[in-house]
Structures are given as C-alpha cells and as structure tokens.
C-alpha cells in the first residue's frame, strides 16, 4: 500500500546506505534525531526488566537506547531485513556497548518470527514509511505486544503548515539529496521525498492503528510537524 518499490529493492537501498547511514543522519538532522529518538523511547514506556523490541532497527541506534532503559535485567531484540545494517548493529554492540542486553535478528516487519503477546514495549524508527504494507505492519506490532503495553513509532511527517512544508521540501531537495550525492547515494536519498509523499498523515496513521486493533493511538507531530511519533497502546 505504501511503497511503489518491491521489498527487495527497498532492502537493496538500505544495504547500500548502511555504511554511511549514521553519519548522514547526524548531519542531516543536525543531531536532533537524538532528541526525537529519546522521546520515542520515553513514549514506549520501557521499565527495567522489560522485554523490548525495535523493529526496522537498522544499525541499532534506537535499539541501544531502548536496551539502556530496560537494562540490566531486561532484554531488547533488534530486527531488520537488511544484512548489511544488522552487521553494523552487531559490530557496534560488541565494540561499543557489549554490556547492553541486546540480540539482533534478521526478519521482515510484516511477518516477524516472534511469539505473540510477549513484548512490554516496541519502538520503530523510520520504518513504517518504508514497509510495503502499513496496516499489516501495525497488526504485527499489535500481535507482538502484551495486553496494555505500548509502542512508539518515529518517522518523517508532512507538516500541516504550508511554511514548514515548503521548508521541508527545500531542505530535502537542497541539502539532503546533494549531501547524499557526495556519498554516491543520490537515488537512495531522493527516495525519502517520494516515500514521504505517500506516507499517511498523523490522523490517517491513527485511523489505521485503530483498524489494526489498538485501544489507543495518538500521533504527536514534532519538529514543526516535519517528524512525528505514533504512540500506540494495546487494550488490556
């Protein structure tokens, strides 16, 4: 429903981006992604000892943040379908934060090889916009959560206000794509604009979440509405 590209092409894009993804992210958000990720973890309401899941974990930044919140007695699983992203996540985990309770698995967000109803909290960073079937992905998150547990999904968003929308378009076209060009990744980053144009707005995401079975769904626009966090709660 969301992407015009088949999943195999999306995987190739993320395999190619993997080596530079974190550096570019830091530059392109001027470090702000760290604040947005901290908010996302907070909204997922992790507690020490929880079992957490980070879907579309990429190189593992959000998963490591979630792991810090459930450590030392909890556990976090990071899952992604890109081998190249997971290889970086594993390497960073072992070399930079081996004490964190993390495990990495290869898997598709649309059919995760995980037991139903076992997770206390779930996060997803810049994943929902990239999956090929958003309703299915939300159903998977609903299936995996324990009753009463929360998920928080961070992603780009198209601002309501025309001024912010123009700024976002200018920023993507004038800053993001040319910077990505220096890394030979023009097409991969131009994909952000087209995926964003197809991505449901906050209220539509909330509607899809209710259709997937969630008891509560709230979309919080952040950064002038250029980003958003969809916070979901499974019924008790």
Ligand X SMILES: C[S@@+](CC[C@H](N)C(=O)[O-])C[C@H]1O[C@@H](n2cnc3c(N)ncnc32)[C@H](O)[C@@H]1O
Q: Where does this chain bind ligand X (CB under 6 A)? A: 7, 10-11, 14, 56-58, 61-62, 80-82, 85, 108-110, 125-127, 130-131
Shorter beta-carbon distance to ligand X: residue 11 or 150: 11
Asked whether 153 and 126 are in contact (CB, 8 A), the reply is no
Shorter beta-carbon distance to ligand X: residue 28 or 209: 28
Closest contact distance (angstroms) between CB of 180 and ligand X is 13
DSSP 201: P
Cα separation, 117 vs 175, in Å, equals: 42
Q: Which sign does the torsion angle of CA 195, 107, 219, 156 carry?
A: negative
Contacting residues for 43 by C-beta, under 8 A, at least 6 apart: 150, 152, 220, 229, 231
Shorter beta-carbon distance to ligand X: residue 106 or 235: 106
Burial of 188 (0-12, 13-18, 19+ CB in 10 A): buried
How many helices (H) and strands (E) would you count in the chain? 10, 7
Shorter beta-carbon distance to ligand X: residue 73 or 96: 96
Shorter beta-carbon distance to ligand X: residue 57 or 172: 57
Closest contact distance (angstroms) between CB of 235 and ligand X is 25
Cα separation, 205 vs 124, in Å, equals: 14
Half-sphere exposure of 214 (CA within 13 A, CB side): 28
Closest contact distance (angstroms) between CB of 181 and ligand X is 18
Closest contact distance (angstroms) between CB of 62 and ligand X is 5
Closest contact distance (angstroms) between CB of 123 and ligand X is 8
Shorter beta-carbon distance to ligand X: residue 22 or 215: 22
Indicate the length of the chain as a whole number: 236
Query: The tokens of 170 are what?
Result: 């200018």
Cα separation, 223 vs 123, in Å, equals: 19
Query: What is the bridge-based pairing of β-strands 227-233 and 145-156?
Result: antiparallel
Closest contact distance (angstroms) between CB of 220 and ligand X is 17
Peptide bond into 72 cis (omega under 30): yes
Shorter beta-carbon distance to ligand X: residue 81 or 199: 81
Closest contact distance (angstroms) between CB of 85 and ligand X is 4
């Amino acid at each position: 429903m969301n992407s015009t590209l088949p999943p195999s092409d999306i995987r190739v894009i993320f395999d190619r981006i993997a080596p530079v993804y974190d550096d570019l992210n830091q530059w392109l958000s001027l470090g702000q992604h760290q604040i947005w990720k901290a908010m996302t973890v907070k909204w997922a309401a992790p507690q020490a000892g929880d079992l957490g899941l980070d879907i579309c974990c990429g190189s593992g930044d959000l998963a490591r943040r979630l792991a810090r919140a459930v450590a030392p007695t909890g556990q976090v699983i990071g899952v992604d379908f890109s081998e190249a992203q997971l290889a970086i996540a594993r390497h960073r985990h072992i070399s930079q934060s081996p004490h964190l309770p993390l495990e990495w698995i290869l898997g598709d967000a649309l059919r995760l090889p995980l037991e139903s109803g076992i997770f206390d909290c779930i996060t997803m960073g810049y994943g929902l916009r990239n999956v090929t079937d958003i309703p299915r992905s939300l159903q998977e998150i609903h299936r995996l959560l324990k009753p009463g547990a929360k998920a928080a999904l961070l992603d780009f968003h198209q601002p309501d206000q025309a001024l912010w929308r123009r700024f976002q378009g200018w920023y993507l076209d004038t800053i993001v794509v040319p910077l990505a060009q220096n890394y030979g990744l023009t097409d991969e980053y131009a994909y952000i604009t087209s995926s964003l144009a197809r991505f449901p707005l906050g209220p539509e995401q909330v509607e899809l979440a209710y259709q997937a079975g969630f008891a509560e769904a709230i979309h919080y626009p952040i950064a002038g509405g250029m980003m958003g966090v969809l916070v979901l709660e499974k019924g008790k």
